[in-house]
Chains A and B, each alone.
Chain A
Amino acid sequence: MANVEITKVRKCFGNVEVLHEISLSIQTGEFVVLVGPSGCGKSTLLRMVAGLDVPTSGTIAIDSEIVNSMPPKLRGVAMVFQNYALYPHMTVRQNLSFGLKLAKVDSLEIKKRVLESSEILGIQDHLDKKPGQLSGGQKQRVAMGRAMVRQPKVFLFDEPLSNLDAQLRVKMRTELSLLHRRVQATSIYVTHDQVEAMTLADRIAVMYQGKLEQVGKPLELYQNPKTKFVASFIGTPSMNFIEGEILTKLKPPKGSVCGGFRPESTFLSEEGAPAKLFLGKGRVVLVEPLGAMAYVHVSLAGQTVIIEAKSEVFPKNEDPVSVWIDPTKIFFFQDNGNRL
C-alpha cells in the first residue's frame, strides 16, 4: 500500500486549462473522496493518477516515486469505472483473472485470489456467467473484484455507483465502506454525490471549476465551510443564502456580502434554542414532509429559504410564518465566495 502525493498538477486540453495547480496528499490507507459538480475535472485528475492521462505540469507521486510518465501497469493502481468496463466476451472468472494472467501470476494463486475476492463480494455463484447475464449490482461487484484481485497499492473509483438505482446505491455504499474498513487500502473515490462523499470519506476534497475548494473531514466541511461553494454543495437541502450588506461599524467589508445558514439552524417559533434571532415574516410556498420533520420553503423578503420544521404540526401552503435563526450558525461570504 502507498501514499499518493499530487503536487501543483495542471492539465490542459488544447488551450483549455481544466485543472489549475491542484495539490493534494493522500495518506497510506486513507479513503479520499473527490467531489464536485460534473465537469469540474474530477475524472481528469483521477485518470492522471491512473496513468491514462499525463499532467501538463506538476507531479504525481505514488509511494514517494514520481509516476508522471510511468505507464499504468507499473503504477500498481486499479480502477473501477462508472460503467463497469467489464470485458463482455469473457466470463466473470476470466474478467477477474485477466490482469493476473497478464502479470504471469501463478495459476493456483490466481484461483485462490479470484475465489477469495468473489466470496467477499458475494459473486462466487456467478463466476462462469458473462457480464451480459448479470444485474447492475452484480456487474458493479465484478468490477470491484477485478480491482481487488490485483491487490493494488491504490484503488481508484470513478463514480462507481452512479449507474445503480437509488436503493442499490445506498446498499453498495455501505458495503464499500465496510470493505474499505476491512482492506484498508489507499483509495481515491470520485463522485458528484455529496451524500456518497460524506458517508464514505475519511477526507473529502471538494473541487469546483478545476480548483480544489477545500479539503477536510466530512463534518469539518459541513460545520466549517471555507467558501460559499463548499457551503452550498455539502449538505441537503442546500444552505440558504441571503444577499445583503453588513451595517456594523466595526469592520465593514467592501462590497456586498452573503449570509448563509442551514435549514436546521432555523426555527418557525421562538422557543427551543438559545439566543434566536428574528429573521422576518414570510409566507409558506411549499411543504416537503419527511415524517419526523418537514422542509418548509418560505418566501421571505423576495427570496425563498428552506426551513427545517421539527414540530408535530407542519404549516400549510400560504400560511404566514415568522422565521427565527440561530445567530451562531450564520456564515458570511464575500463577493469572491470566500468566508468572511
Chain B
Amino acid sequence: MKKDSSLLAWGLLFPTLLVLGCFVIYPALQSFVLSFQDVEPFSKQSFFIGFENYMVLFRSPDYWQSLRVTFFFLVMTVIPSLLLSLAIAITLDANPFFQNFLRTLFLLPVAISSSMAAMLWIFIYNPTAGFLNYILDVMGIQGPNWLADPDYALVAIAVATVWKEIGFNIIFFLAGLTAIPTELKEAAELDGASPRQRLFYVVLPLLSPTLFFVSVVSVINSLQSFGQIHILTAGGPMGESTTLVYNLYRDAFVKFRTGLASSEAVVLFILIMGATVFQFRMAKKRVHYG
C-alpha cells in the first residue's frame, strides 16, 4: 500500500522532474562543471583549469564594473518599484471606485512583450524626436541623450524596468490588502489610530508576507534583467549599463568564452541565492503570518 502510493507519487512527479532535469538542473550542473574548464570556441575541446576562470573574473576591472552596475540597477529598480506599487495599491485599495480601470491600466505594461516595451521607450528617450525631451524642451530644459549618456543610461533603463514591472507588484499588493479584514482597520480607528498609524501599525505588518514575496521576486527579476538592456543600450555607453547578466551574455555568445561565462553564471547564482537567503533571514523577525 505504502509502496504503491510512493510509486504513484514519483509517477506523477516524473514529467515535471524530467523537464526540470533536462532544462534546469542538467544545464546548471553543466555550467558549474564548465566554470572550471577552458573551452576552445571552435574545436569545443575543453581542459580542466581549476579556479583560473574565477581568477580572470576577479582580476578584470570590467567585471567589477558590471558588479557595481548591477548593484545600482538593483537599487534603482527594486526600491522605487516596491515603494511606488505599494503606494499605488494602497491608494487603489482605499478608492475602489476606479480600482478596476486603473488596475488594468497599470497591468498593461506587464502584458506587453519586453521588446515591444523597450521599443516604446526608445521612442520616448530619443534625444531629438523623443517625447521626454520634447516635454523638457517645453519647460525650457535641454534634455540629455538619455540612452547614450553614461550618467543617464542606467537610470533610463531602470525607469523603463520599473514602469514595466510595477503592475505585477500592484496586483499582489492589492490582493494582500484586500485580504486584511476591514474590522481590523476599524478597530484601530476606534483605538484612536490616525490613517498613518493604521498604515504603519496594522496594515503594513499584516501585508508583510506579501511584501516579502514581492521583494524576493523583484530582486531576482532585477538581477536577471536582460531584454530591456539589450534593446535599449546593449550594455553601453562605456559599459555603464553592462550588468552581470549582460556581461555574461557577451562573454558567452559574442566572445564565445564558454568557461568564463559559466563561472560568471555560478557567481550570479551565488549572489541571487545570497540575496534571497538574506531576505529570508530578515523576514524571520519582521514577517507576520496570520
Is A99 part of the contact surface with B, judged by Cβ < 8 Å? yes
Contacts A87-B202, A88-B288, A89-B288; A102 near B192 (Cβ below 8 A): yes
Is A50 part of the contact surface with B, judged by Cβ < 8 Å? yes
How far apart sit A103 and B191, CA to CA, in the bound complex (Å)?
8
How far apart sit A77 and B183, CA to CA, in the bound complex (Å)?
15
Q: Which interface class (under 10, 10 to 19, 20 to 34, 35 or more) fits A?
A: 20 to 34
Contacts A81-B183, A98-B201; A88 near B192 (Cβ below 8 A): no
Using CB atoms, name the residue of chain A closest to B181: A85
Chain A at the B interface: SS class: loop
How far apart sit A258 and B190, CA to CA, in the bound complex (Å)?
46
Of the candidates B181, B188, B208, the one having the most CB atoms from chain A within 10 angstroms of its own CB is B188
Is B184 part of the contact surface with A, judged by Cβ < 8 Å? yes
Interface pair A79/B206, CB less than 8 Å apart: no
Interface pair B190/A102, CB less than 8 Å apart: no
Residues of A close to B208: CB separation below 8 A: 89
Is A52 part of the contact surface with B, judged by Cβ < 8 Å? yes
Of the candidates A71, A83, A87, A99, the one having the most CB atoms from chain B within 10 angstroms of its own CB is A87
How far apart sit A72 and B192, CA to CA, in the bound complex (Å)?
7
B positions within 8 Å CB-CB of A:
181, 183-184, 186-193, 197, 201-202, 205-206, 208, 288, 290
Residues of B close to A82: CB separation below 8 A: 183
Is A307 part of the contact surface with B, judged by Cβ < 8 Å? no
Using CB atoms, name the residue of chain B closest to A74: B192
Residues of B close to A72: CB separation below 8 A: 189-190, 192
Residues of B close to A52: CB separation below 8 A: 186, 189-190
User: How near does chain A come to B240, taking the closest CB pair, in angstroms?
Assistant: 43
Of the residues A83, A89, A99, contact of B192 by C-beta under 8 Å? A99
Is A73 part of the contact surface with B, judged by Cβ < 8 Å? yes
Is A215 part of the contact surface with B, judged by Cβ < 8 Å? no
Of the residues B181, B197, B290, contact of A102 by C-beta under 8 Å? B197
How far apart sit A185 and B190, CA to CA, in the bound complex (Å)?
17
How far apart sit A333 and B208, CA to CA, in the bound complex (Å)?
58
Q: 27 pairs across A/B with beta carbons < 8 Å?
A: A52-B186, A72-B189, A72-B190, A73-B189, A73-B190, A73-B191, A73-B192, A73-B193, A77-B190, A81-B183, A81-B186, A82-B183, A83-B181, A86-B187, A87-B187, A87-B201, A87-B202, A88-B206, A88-B290, A89-B205, A89-B206, A98-B188, A98-B193, A98-B201, A99-B191, A102-B192, A146-B191
How far apart sit A227 and B192, CA to CA, in the bound complex (Å)?
41
Of the residues A71, A81, A89, A132, contact of B187 by C-beta under 8 Å? A81
Is A78 part of the contact surface with B, judged by Cβ < 8 Å? yes
Interface pair B191/A85, CB less than 8 Å apart: no
Residues of A close to B191: CB separation below 8 A: 73, 98-99, 102, 146, 150
Using CB atoms, name the residue of chain B closest to A131: B290
Residues of A close to B288: CB separation below 8 A: 88-89
How far apart sit A79 and B184, CA to CA, in the bound complex (Å)?
12
How far apart sit A88 and B209, CA to CA, in the bound complex (Å)?
13
How far apart sit A88 and B188, CA to CA, in the bound complex (Å)?
12
How far apart sit A81 and B184, CA to CA, in the bound complex (Å)?
9
How far apart sit A52 and B188, CA to CA, in the bound complex (Å)?
11
How far apart sit A202 and B206, CA to CA, in the bound complex (Å)?
39
How far apart sit A89 and B290, CA to CA, in the bound complex (Å)?
7
Contacts A85-B184, A88-B206, A88-B288; A78 near B201 (Cβ below 8 A): no
